């Protein structure tokens, strides 16, 4: 382990919810929950104001509504979040060539590799400057942890939340971690934590006292050895600039269980096409097709088929996914479907799958046309009036959708730099109202958005 706290971990604070609050003045300081709004949706992020009521990420949305009925519930705007993330990652890469993104809102940085920091003082200055630059560039806040290893830097950033900076100086790690809960350590979730608690192990110090052999007996060889090493603060993992993509997948959860076998097949084909579009967008192909089915009783089945060579042919992926579906009993109903491709490569072997191509293409055209006809009304409706998404009115300017139903859509007209705006209601087909792109959170020179 290093002798200076030159590994930085950044975690943006309640990222999706904070971005929505910054974008919508009327939501600042209020409970905001971002996620799927259907009966089976889950919480992606909750603002700190919503967390006071017990709302947390990955919680069923129905439970969140019971806990915080007066919160604002919004559908994620991933393109918007991604654009902010690109700005933040750009700031990190100014600090070092070794930046390891973990998600849109989280990353490790090796400050020493960039010559940005070499001791505690320089690391602290770099962390403070990064936080200031993020606030100036995006209007949002991030928490920074600095330590001599990745594990400790991540623990430090958790201690820094929200909007803080914590440095764990080398030599103080054991004393700091000792009294903390075992759940502090990476990889210790609720199940492992409960298992350790039943064995009388609740703190990191108690892990060390129990000894490596006891942990192996309780948790198995790999997990036991790893957890004991973490309790001793041993972590030699390097910051890796490029994380290899291992698979590409898409999945949908349905508000109502699907019982019709034909509909299930059509959904699988649609997901296969979406998966291939994502695959091609990344310039990849793959050999192994994976089908995921979650049934009415929450049991989840995963089936896979490995082809003779990598492909990015949508017809091939569709056919493989349908073959896998044949071996799955869906008579009780299906609540989730997913299609993925793994065994990725940057080339294809289309010649291996040329048999009966003309016949297959005829089927593809018919199936695609039928699928599009079925799905188009839903996609148009969701694209136009999704709660939280941006719109523009010819007379009133920029706003966002508060809700829609019964042929009406309610819009609040405001921008990131305006006062909280007024609310107006329109017919859903009002020609003066249209979908709009999100406005930047921080004023861009030369761009003067119309105020509400």
In this structure, the strands spanning 32-35 and 72-74 are parallel
Q: Which residues have CB under 8 Å from 301's CB, separation 6+?
A: 292, 293, 294, 295, 328
Enzyme catalytic residues: 106
255 neighbors 305 (Cβ within 8 angstroms): no
Residue with tokens 């400790």: 152
- pLDDT, tens digit, for every residue of 70-83? 999 999 998 899 99
DSSP 362-406: HHHHHHHHHHHHHHHHHHHHHHHS-TT-EEEETTTEEEEEEEEET
Q: What is the mean pLDDT of residues 289-314?
A: 89
Backbone torsions φ then ψ of 82, nearest 5 degrees: -65, -40
Residue with tokens 């996914």: 321
Strand partners, 165: 144
What is the model's pTM? 0.74
Helix (H) or strand (E) holding 141: none
Report the Cα–Cα distance between both ends of the chain, in Å, rounded: 54
Higher pLDDT, 291 or 2: 291
- pLDDT, tens digit, for every residue of 92-138? 999 999 999 988 899 999 999 999 999 999 999 999 999 999 999 99
Alpha-carbon distance 183 to 192, whole Å?
A: 9
Q: What is the mean pLDDT of residues 55-60?
A: 90
Backbone torsions φ then ψ of 300, nearest 5 degrees: -115, 125
- pLDDT, tens digit, for every residue of 258-286? 998 999 999 999 999 999 998 888 888 89
Where are the strands (E) in 18-177, listed by range?
A: 32-35, 43-46, 72-74, 99-103, 106-110, 142-147, 165-167
Alpha-carbon distance 140 to 441, whole Å?
A: 9
């Amino acid at each position: 382990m290093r002798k200076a706290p030159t590994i930085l971990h950044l975690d943006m604070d309640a990222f999706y919810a904070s971005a929505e609050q910054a974008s919508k003045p009327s939501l600042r300081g209020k409970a905001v929950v971002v996620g799927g709004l259907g009966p089976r949706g889950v919480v992606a992020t909750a603002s700190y104001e919503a967390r006071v009521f017990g709302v947390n990420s990955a919680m069923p949305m129905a439970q969140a509504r019971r806990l915080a009925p007066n919160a604002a519930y919004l559908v994620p705007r991933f393109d918007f979040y991604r654009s902010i993330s690109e700005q933040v990652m750009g700031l990190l890469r100014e600090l070092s060539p070794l930046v390891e993104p973990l998600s849109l809102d989280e990353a490790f940085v090796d400050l020493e590799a960039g010559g940005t920091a070499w001791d505690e003082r320089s690391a602290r200055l770099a962390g403070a400057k990064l936080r200031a630059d993020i606030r100036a560039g995006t209007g949002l806040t991030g928490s920074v942890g600095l330590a001599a290893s990745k594990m400790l830097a991540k623990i430090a950033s958790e201690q820094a939340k929200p909007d803080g900076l914590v440095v764990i100086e080398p030599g103080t790690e054991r004393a700091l971690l000792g009294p903390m809960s075992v759940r502090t350590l990476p990889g210790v979730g609720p199940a492992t934590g409960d298992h350790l608690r039943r064995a009388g192990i609740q703190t990191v110090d108690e892990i060390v006292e129990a000894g490596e052999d006891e942990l192996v007996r309780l948790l198995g060889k790999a997990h036991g050895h790893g957890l004991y090493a973490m309790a001793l603060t041993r972590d030699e993992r390097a910051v890796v600039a490029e994380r290899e993509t291992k698979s590409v997948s898409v999945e949908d959860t349905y508000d109502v269980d699907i019982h019709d076998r034909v509909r299930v097949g059509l959904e699988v084909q649609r997901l296969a096409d979406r998966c291939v579009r994502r695959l091609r967008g990344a310039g990849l192909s793959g050999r192994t097709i994976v089908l995921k089915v979650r049934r009415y009783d929450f049991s989840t089945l995963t089936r896979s088929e490995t082809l003779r060579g990598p492909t990015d042919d949508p017809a091939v992926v569709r056919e493989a996914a349908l073959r896998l579906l044949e071996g799955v009993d869906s008579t009780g109903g299906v609540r989730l479907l997913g299609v993925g491709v793994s065994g990725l490569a940057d080339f294809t072997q289309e010649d291996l799958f040329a048999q009966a191509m003309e016949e297959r293409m005829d089927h593809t055209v018919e199936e695609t046309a039928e699928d599009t006809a079925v799905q188009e009304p839903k996609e148009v409706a969701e694209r136009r009036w999704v709660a939280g998404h941006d719109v523009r009115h010819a007379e009133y300017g920029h706003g966002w959708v508060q809700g829609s139903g019964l042929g009406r859509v309610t819009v609040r007209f405001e921008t990131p730099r305006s006062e909280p705006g007024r609310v107006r209601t329109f017919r859903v087909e009002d020609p003066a109202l249209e979908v709009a792109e999100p406005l930047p959170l921080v004023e861009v020179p030369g761009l003067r958005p119309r105020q509400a």
